[in-house]
């Protein structure tokens, strides 16, 4: 379900038409904060692990206490509008600019779709809903100050229709969606103060991400975005994925895992929840990049040459970190992963994320498959006459479930 207001806003914004000054819809969007999310993280308490199915199942109302508009605010209608943010690069890796709606071809499960809405990613009339999920556990203390400074750059560059929230690895909503840049910066500063006082987060970063994609967004969020900054060390406190995901083992528990509460979901469950949320996820991994061997004949594990030139090591800790990074990188659905090997890289990484959002094309269509069956729909976007172009963006979405 979406509101008539949202459909009208998309249509007018993409057509380049301003809403009238006396529009009640405009008044709601610009003068009223959305209803605050109550009891953030409560949806995780409703998950129960089913060992026979090898997946998490709902034991109550799905999604915790989702934020809603009051019934008097808007008139609601059903729609299947699908929106995709895509980026186009040529075969040399350069961003392709200046494309129009007529340049794109969209298909869903192999069936052509009619593009109804089109906009550029930097069109400030179509706001973004951005959540920063930040890990401030002890292992991240060397990076917190630089990351906070970089996140403030992001805050300063938010558009007039953008809203932003901050979630921590305590599975805590530090600040709910707001356009108040002072409030956002104060919340970020509080993390630096806590870190300096050795009051660290509890390393439940995957749980925080799961709560975010299940609870933070509504269908009125046309461009949901998550920036997920973590080293991923909650991984082995998750349930094992069935079948195994990304060849990540599930039997090894690092010594510090006893300080992290076990989760009732798997990494596969998390990735599926991200798919359902429609959010673009950008992962930022602080720390030395650890890569797995390219072939079975290369037994060593290697540190990134950028920070340890010529060094090759294989230790349980290095091996474990490689799995952490692989799992965190896998959450970057629709977006991409950056490695912050030095705190000095933080500003560039955050600028690149914002630049990536601005360089995208926003494409909307009404699927010809109207069924509300909860199925995964595969989406293909092409540029007419340019098969050599590469398209970055979501490759699928999950249809609405049956009522």
Rounded to an integer, what distance in angstroms lies between the CA atom of residue 168 and that of residue 92?
38
User: Contact, 229 vs 253, CB < 8 A?
Assistant: no
Higher pLDDT, 73 or 366: 366
- Domains detected in the chain: 129-358 (3.40.50.410)
> What is the Cα Rg of the chain in Å?
21
On the CB side of 30, CA atoms within 13 Å amount to: 15
243 upstream amide cis, omega within 30 of 0? yes
User: Contact, 50 vs 57, CB < 8 A?
Assistant: yes
pLDDT band at 61 (very low <50, low <70, confident <90, very high): low
Q: Per-residue pLDDT tens for 220-240?
A: 888 999 999 999 989 888 998
Rounded to an integer, what distance in angstroms lies between the CA atom of residue 210 and that of residue 61?
16
- Tell me what the pLDDT averaged over the chain comes to: 81
The DSSP-derived string for 327-343 is HHHHT--EEEEEEESSG
Rounded to an integer, what distance in angstroms lies between the CA atom of residue 109 and that of residue 122?
29
- The alpha helices in 124-224, defined as continuous H runs, are 141-156, 181-196, 205-215
- The alpha helices in 363-403, defined as continuous H runs, are none
| For residues 61-81, average pLDDT | 47
What are the b/e assignments for 203-227, b being 16+ CB within 10 Å?
Answer: bbbbbbbbbbbbbbbbebbbbbbbb
pLDDT for residue 26: 35
Bridge partners (DSSP) listed for residue 363: 84, 118
Long-range contacts of the stretch 373-379 (C-beta < 8 A, 24+):
373/399, 373/401, 373/402, 374/398, 374/399, 374/400, 374/401, 374/402, 375/399, 376/275, 377/82, 377/108, 377/109, 378/108, 378/109, 378/110, 379/82, 379/84, 379/106, 379/107, 379/108
141-156 and 346-358 are packed helices; what angle lies between their axes, rounded to 10 degrees?
40
User: Is residue 257 classed exposed, middle or buried when 0-12, 13-18 and 19+ CB atoms within 10 A define those classes?
Assistant: middle
Q: Per-residue pLDDT tens for 104-133?
A: 999 999 999 999 999 999 988 889 999 999
Asked whether the predicted pLDDT for residue 43 surpasses 90, the reply is yes
- Residues in the chain, overall count: 403
pLDDT band at 33 (very low <50, low <70, confident <90, very high): low
From the DSSP assignment, how many helices (H) and strands (E) are in the chain? 9, 21
User: Phi and psi (nearest 5°) for 211?
Assistant: -65, -35
pLDDT for residue 10: 46
């Amino acid at each position: 379900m979406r509101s008539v207001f949202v459909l009208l806003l998309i249509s007018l914004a993409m057509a380049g038409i301003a809403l009238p000054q006396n529009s009640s819809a405009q008044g709601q969007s610009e003068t009223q904060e959305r209803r605050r999310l109550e009891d953030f993280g409560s949806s995780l308490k409703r998950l129960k692990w089913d060992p026979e199915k090898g997946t998490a199942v709902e034991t109550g109302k799905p999604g915790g206490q989702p934020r809603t508009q009051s019934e008097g605010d808007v008139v609601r209608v059903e729609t299947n509008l699908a929106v995709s943010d895509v980026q186009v690069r040529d075969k040399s890796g350069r961003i392709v600019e200046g494309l129009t709606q007529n340049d794109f071809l969209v298909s869903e499960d192999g069936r052509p779709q009619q593009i109804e809405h089109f906009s550029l990613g930097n069109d400030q009339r179509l706001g973004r809903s951005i959540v920063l999920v930040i890990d401030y556990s002890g292992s991240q203390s060397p990076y917190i100050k630089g990351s906070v400074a970089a996140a403030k750059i992001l805050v300063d560059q938010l558009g007039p229709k953008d809203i932003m929230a901050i979630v921590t690895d305590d599975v805590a909503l530090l600040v709910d969606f707001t356009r108040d840049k002072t409030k956002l910066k104060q919340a970020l500063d509080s993390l630096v103060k806590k870190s300096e006082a050795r009051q660290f987060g509890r390393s439940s970063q995957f749980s925080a991400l799961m709560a975010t994609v299940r609870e933070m967004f509504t269908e009125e969020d046309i461009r949901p975005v998550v920036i997920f900054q973590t080293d991923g060390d909650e991984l082995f406190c998750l349930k094992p994925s069935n079948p195994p995901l990304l060849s990540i083992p599930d039997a090894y528990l690092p010594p510090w895992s006893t300080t992290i509460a076990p989760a009732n979901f798997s990494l596969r469950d998390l990735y599926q929840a991200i798919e359902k949320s429609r959010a673009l996820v950008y992962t930022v991994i602080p720390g030395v990049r650890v890569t797995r061997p390219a072939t079975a004949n290369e037994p060593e594990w290697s540190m990134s040459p950028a920070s340890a030139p010529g060094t090759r090591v294989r230790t349980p800790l290095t091996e474990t970190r490689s799995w952490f990074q692989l799992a965190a990188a896998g959450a970057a659905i629709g977006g991409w992963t950056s490695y912050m090997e030095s705190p000095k890289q933080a500003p560039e990484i955050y600028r690149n994320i914002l630049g990536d959002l601005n360089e995208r094309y926003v494409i909307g269509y009404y699927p010809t498959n109207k069924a509300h069956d909860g199925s995964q729909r595969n989406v293909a976007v092409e540029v007419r006459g340019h098969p050599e172009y590469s398209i970055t963006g979501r490759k699928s979405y999950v249809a609405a479930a049956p009522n």
